[in-house]
Amino acid sequence: MPEDLPALLGGPPVRPNGPPPWPPPDPDVRAALAAATAAGAWGRYHGEHVAALEAELAASHAVPHALTCASGTLAVEVALRALRVGPGDEVVLAAYDYESNFLTVHALGATPVLADPHPDTWQLDPVRLEAAFTERTKAVVCSHLHGGLVPMREVADLCRGRGVGVVEDAAQAPGATVQGKPAGTWGDLGTLSFGGSKLLAAGRGGAVLTADPQLHQRAKAFLSRGLQQWAALSELQAAALRPQLRKLPEVTAIRADRVRELVGCLAVPGLVPFPVPPDSAPAFYKLGFRYDPAAFGLPRDLFVRAVRAEGVALDAGFKALHVGRSPSRFRAAGDLTHATAAHAGCVVLHHPVLGLSRADARQVADAVAKVYRERDRF
């Protein structure tokens, strides 16, 4: 069996054991869960861990208020409700974004307005954002996606001048720095996700960050039903998250180093990582690339299949929000050319391999290079 034959064609995979599991074994998480269980936290409505996690989230993001809840999607809804978004309002978001954000706007009775993303980064573009505003615009949802970052200073300045609220969705970016500030702290409210695949993982869960005491109180009131929160994070989830949060700066730096190693080893045409704003550092929940099938020599779906066969967790990106939907469900601000390009051309590497060694990062580059060398065989 030829060693250089792609695995999809019968050769040996570069990573025969496949992608690493997530979350990884963590003795600190195990110890925290064991201690919380021994103390009876698993059966309590109220305990030390949720309150401590909220205080630690606020401190690590340099904001006075953090409020946990049952999911990152709910956190976005809570943030929009705190801004009093409702029927008749418009909420602007990039036409290339996480689908749940679009559906959350609908759940509030508001209209999603889709702005074309930046042509180079496929993130929300402040220039196109301004053109999407009308007198009905109540809020903007800004999502940092696939290791890219939205230039939040420009977004915040623009929205502040128009009286438009900003929700900064940092579900993919805990630990990132955006133009000198922690991701999730530029907007009126920021949101985090603790889903099972996230960089801070608890199976489910989310958080809302804000410096505004009135917005914090509105968010807290929405989540309250009488004496208790109706969609709360559990004590055991919070116990598992606390050691992960403490180690977040260290593991963020490791992932950034592995990305530099990987990108430095990539020497193939048609695969370009997203640029980031100055004075910024991504968190790399995903590592996104612009994929050009003509330059690489394979259709995207075949390229993804071939790299996955090598044991690397590479996937196509999101489906653009306007694709396959009735135009009655949103207002398009422009022709959405770049969102369509992102829909067809984005590929993303899942993050677990970025927490391993530099040699593992090089294996990802080796898998891509192997597929490229033998592209004419497919």
pLDDT at 253 over 70: yes
Segment 31-57 shows an average pLDDT of 93
Q: For residues 283 and 254, is the Cβ–Cβ distance under 8 A? A: no
pLDDT at 140 over 80: yes
Segment 119-139 shows an average pLDDT of 96
Closest CA to 78 of 179, 195, 229: 229
Say what the pLDDT of residue 227 is. 81
pLDDT at 116 over 60: yes
Q: Residue 191 — φ and ψ, nearest 5°?
A: -130, 150
Say what the pLDDT of residue 44 is. 86
Query: C-alpha angle with apex 61: 58 to 63, nearest 5 degrees?
Result: 55
CA distance 203 to 233: 11
Say what the pLDDT of residue 247 is. 98
In tens, the pLDDT along 184-236 reads: 999 999 999 999 999 999 999 999 999 999 999 999 999 998 888 999 999 99
Say what the pLDDT of residue 277 is. 86
pLDDT at 171 over 70: yes
pLDDT at 276 over 90: no
- Burial of residue 93 (number of CB atoms within 10 Å: 0-12, 13-18, 19+): buried
pLDDT at 1 over 80: no
CA distance 336 to 324: 14
Say what the pLDDT of residue 41 is. 87
Sort strands 165-169 and 177-178 into parallel, antiparallel or unpaired: unpaired
pLDDT at 252 over 80: yes
All domains of the chain in start order, with CATH: 27-244 (3.40.640.10), 248-377 (3.90.1150.10)
Residue linked to tokens 């128009």: 162
In tens, the pLDDT along 290-338 reads: 999 999 999 999 999 999 999 999 999 999 999 999 999 999 999 999 9
Is the pTM higher than 0.85? yes
Closest CA to 268 of 303, 301, 302: 303
Within 8 A by CB and 6+ apart from 225, the residues are none
The mean of the pLDDT values for the chain is 96
pLDDT at 3 over 80: no
